[in-house]
Amino acid sequence: MHRVGIIPFDFRDDLVAILFVTSQTRGRWILPKGKRKKGEKHADACLREGFEEAGIRGVVLEDFPMTHVVTKLTSAGTLQIPVTYFPFLVTEQTDDWPEKESRQRHWALLEDAPRVAYREDFHPVLEQFEALGRWIKEAAREHKPLPQPELMPAQ
């Protein structure tokens, strides 16, 4: 039942932005996540989920796993599911992706992310991401391509 997920982000100077997608069933702002396929490594599942759900490619920062329990409403009731999220530096955002017709995406500055995120499920992982921000950005800098202003929200 364990899932893997990503915290898609980009940064410029002191600004950090997080990319949210809508859930397929209720249209709420969530972070991409899913099940690993048999034999699939965590990072490979993260790369696949990022592209399928959000049309993004990037770098999974495997040194910073954050496991949290999220709730999922199903026909059988509410389930609690552990999800290990990894910071995911977005290096490319495509206009076409597998779940484009069933999902929207939205960039939010990290400081605004708790107001965008659906429920409290995502607040602990966003707080941990922010607490680790200095080290995450340090690790991401070596993978950062030339600035891509279209990935950051308007200021």
| pLDDT tens-place string over residues 37-57 | 999 999 999 999 999 999 999
Cα 30 to Cα 34, 53, 54, distances in angstroms? 12, 11, 11
* Helices assigned H by DSSP within the chain: 42-54, 113-116, 123-131, 133-141
**Model confidence band, residue 145 (pLDDT cutoffs 50, 70, 90):** low
The pLDDT assigned to 143 comes to: 86
pLDDT average, residue stretch 107-132: 90
Question: Greater confidence, 147 or 21?
Answer: 21
Is residue 112 over pLDDT 60? yes
Contacts with 54 (C-beta within 8 Å, 6 or more apart), sequence order:
8, 19, 21, 32, 93, 97, 103, 105
DSSP helix/strand/coil, 149: helix
Give me the domains of the chain, ranges plus CATH numbers.
Answer: 3-146 (3.90.79.10)
Per DSSP, which regions of 13-142 are E strands?
A: 15-22, 29-30, 33-34, 56-60, 66-74, 77-93, 105-109
DSSP helix/strand/coil, 115: helix
pLDDT average, residue stretch 4-26: 92
What share of the chain has pLDDT > 90, as a percent?
Answer: 70
What share of the chain has pLDDT > 70, as a percent?
Answer: 92
The pLDDT assigned to 103 comes to: 95
Task: Name the average pLDDT for the chain.
Answer: 90
Is residue 16 over pLDDT 90? yes
Burial of 79 (0-12, 13-18, 19+ CB in 10 A): exposed
| pLDDT tens-place string over residues 56-85 | 999 999 999 999 998 877 788 888 999 999
